[in-house]
Amino acid sequence: MPERKWLVTGGNGQVGGALELLIGDQGGWFPRRDELDLANLPSNDALAAMLRDRDINAIINCAAHT
């Protein structure tokens, strides 16, 4: 089975931070808002390129607006 490469949004929040402790050393990408702002996403092509460049094959959305 191929290794999972996780994108976890909201990486600096409570849930994202907890997941980083659990899966961070197993191929996770936990971008902070200054790296991937969900309220101001790049174009679809740019976002697809980001995911492809990091070989992401699973996404967990922990981002929240408070």
pLDDT in tens, 3-61: 778 899 988 888 988 888 888 777 788 988 888 888 888 888 888 898 999 999 999 99
CA dihedral 24, 25, 27, 33 (to 10 degrees): 30
The pLDDT value given to residue 63: 87
| Closest to 15 in 3D by CA, of 59, 66, 64 | 64
Q: Whole-prediction pTM value?
A: 0.79
DSSP assigned state of 4: P
Residues 6+ apart with CB under 8 A from 31: 7, 9, 11
Rounded Cα–Cα distance for residues 21 and 35 (Å): 19
